[in-house]
């Protein structure tokens, strides 16, 4: 038998039978399989040796109760030394890259790996350990929503470890009271915030920051959807845009307002738009920095004007505004313009009325004026 992982670098493997692969140069045959929860990965000189090893392991588990018991105890012993951080690393390598929210989950996993709880052996990770983790992080100022996401991540890792990796673990999260989402954000642009914010955005280092913000307010699209928009997706004559990088994975076509079309027409357009020709040539990080810069500048301008006019500046003016709040603003404006639920949902992409309702915050004063 050849040593495990004894393959020469550069040769690929081809599957020839169940659990058996052969190197492209015919140098060795590799057996990779799970038997009673234990992973085997061995390499042999001949196909007959590989088959014999594979078949023996299968028959041992089926015909010999003692062998199955030995394998089970071997698995338990191996898992006893496995810490949460080991599962997180494997999950990050194998599972996270397959998800649409890969970037956000990668960030959260790396944050969780920095906490002391990640060094806890998975066999010792129980309700008490998780409860202590929540208590400590609450004292450090972590929000309930952040703690909920960490617990859901741990739960997801344990689920994959049991169902996909064959580990005999009990998910400890099911014994813990998971924090709620907390109160949903209802932030919209308040009086004069838009008027101060847009000129400040125009002074950002990246010239695409201001147009993208206006476009987001006019279309209710998400940040990722706007950043992924390409020139081939636009029909300015028909005033529509096709959004491809949507949260639910389904493309949707949205109408463009007159203001949104004006914004697009002012952007430099390639002579021959092709695949990958981005409309808003700005990165997510540039947008984040530009948005924060514009908020600070707009706030200073607002405070200066209040001082000149002898008014007291509102403490909340632009302070807690986030880019995603613009989607709340845009969704609310759709209803203020008279669109019904189905029309608004076709633009925003929400699948349920409850989700749409969470992004709709109509002002009582506006409703009073419509009542007459």
Active site residue 359: yes
Q: Are residues 219 and 337 in the same domain?
A: yes
Per DSSP, the chain holds a count of helices (H) and strands (E) of 15, 7
Indicate whether 50 and 114 sit together in one domain. Answer: no
* Residue 6 included in any domain: no
Question: Tell me, what's the pLDDT at 350?
Answer: 85
What pLDDT was estimated at residue 39? 73
Regarding whether 65 and 99 lie in a shared domain, the answer is: no
| pLDDT tens digits, 291-300 | 999 999 999 9
284 in the same domain as 207: yes
User: What's the pLDDT at 6?
Assistant: 43
Instruction: Specify whether the backbone of 129 is left (phi greater than 0), alpha (psi in -120 to 50) or beta.
Output: alpha
Q: Which residues contact 20 (CB under 8 A, 6 or more apart)?
A: 29, 30, 31, 47, 50, 51, 54
Q: What's the domain count of the chain?
A: 3
39 secondary structure, DSSP code: E
Query: Where in the sequence is the domain holding 137, given as residue range(s)?
Result: 84-175
Do 205 and 167 fall into the same domain?
A: no
CA-CA-CA-CA torsion sign (261, 263, 265, 271): negative
Is residue 341 domain-resident?
Answer: yes
What was the pLDDT predicted at 372? 61
217 & 254 share domain:
yes
Catalytic residue among 149, 188, 222, 299: 222
Question: Is 327 labeled as catalytic in the residue annotation?
Answer: yes
359 and 232 assigned to the same domain: yes
Active-site choice (324, 337, 351, 363): 324
| Domain match, 89 and 76 both | no
214 shares its domain with 313: yes
Q: What pLDDT is attached to residue 9?
A: 46
324 is known as an active-site residue: yes
User: Do 33 and 129 fall into the same domain?
Assistant: no
To the query of whether residue 247 is one of the catalytic residues in this protein, the response is yes
Catalytic residue among 30, 57, 223, 327: 327
Q: Are residues 264 and 346 in the same domain?
A: yes
Point out the catalytic residue in the list 247, 252, 269, 289: 247
8 inside domain = no
- How much is the pLDDT for 7? 44
pLDDT tens per residue across span 184-215: 778 889 889 999 999 999 999 999 999 999 99
| pLDDT digits 0-9 by tens, 110-128 | 999 999 999 999 888 999 9
Q: Which CA distances in Å does 253 have to 230, 262, 348?
A: 13, 18, 10
Q: What is the pLDDT of residue 361?
A: 77
As a whole number of angstroms, the distance between CA 42 and CA 30 comes to: 6
Question: What CATH number is attached to the domain comprising 162?
Answer: 1.10.150
Which positions of the chain have pLDDT values less than 50?
A: 1-10
Active site residue 361: no
């Amino acid at each position: 038998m050849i040593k495990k992982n004894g393959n020469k670098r550069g040769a690929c493997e081809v599957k020839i039978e169940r659990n058996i692969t052969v190197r492209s140069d015919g140098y060795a045959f590799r057996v990779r399989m799970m038997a009673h929860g234990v992973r085997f990965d061995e390499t042999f000189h001949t196909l007959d040796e590989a088959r014999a090893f594979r078949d023996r392991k299968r028959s041992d588990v089926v015909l010999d109760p003692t062998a199955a018991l030995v394998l089970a105890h071997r698995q338990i012993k191996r898992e006893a030394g496995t810490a949460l951080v080991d599962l997180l690393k494997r999950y990050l390598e194998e599972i996270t890259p397959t998800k649409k929210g890969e970037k956000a989950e990668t960030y959260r996993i790396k944050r969780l790996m920095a906490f002391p709880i990640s060094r806890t052996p998975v066999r010792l990770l129980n309700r008490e350990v998780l409860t202590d983790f929540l208590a400590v992080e609450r004292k450090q100022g972590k929000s309930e929503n952040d703690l909920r996401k960490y617990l859901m991540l741990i739960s997801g890792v344990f689920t994959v470890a049991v169902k996909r990796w064959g580990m005999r673990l009990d998910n400890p999260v099911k014994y813990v009271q998971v924090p709620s989402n907390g109160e949903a954000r209802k932030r919209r642009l308040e009086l004069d915030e838009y008027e101060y914010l847009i000129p400040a955005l125009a002074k950002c280092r990246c010239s695409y920051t201001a147009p993208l913000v206006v476009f987001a307010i006019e279309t209710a699209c998400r940040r990722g959807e706007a950043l992924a928009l390409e020139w081939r997706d636009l029909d300015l004559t028909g005033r529509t845009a096709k959004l491809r990088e949507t949260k639910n994975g389904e493309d949707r076509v949205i109408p463009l307002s007159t203001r949104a079309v004006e914004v697009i027409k002012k952007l430099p357009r390639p002579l021959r738009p092709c695949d990958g020709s981005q409309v808003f040539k700005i990165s997510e990080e540039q947008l984040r920095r530009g948005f924060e810069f514009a908020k600070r500048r707009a706030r200073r301008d607002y405070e200066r004007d209040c001082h000149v006019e002898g008014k007291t500046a509102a403490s909340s003016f632009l302070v807690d505004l986030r880019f995603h709040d613009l989607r709340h603003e845009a969704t609310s404006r759709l209803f203020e313009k008279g669109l019904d639920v189905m029309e608004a949902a076709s633009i925003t992409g929400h699948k349920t009325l409850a989700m749409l309702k969470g992004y709709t915050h109509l002002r009582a004063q506006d409703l009073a004026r419509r009542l007459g």
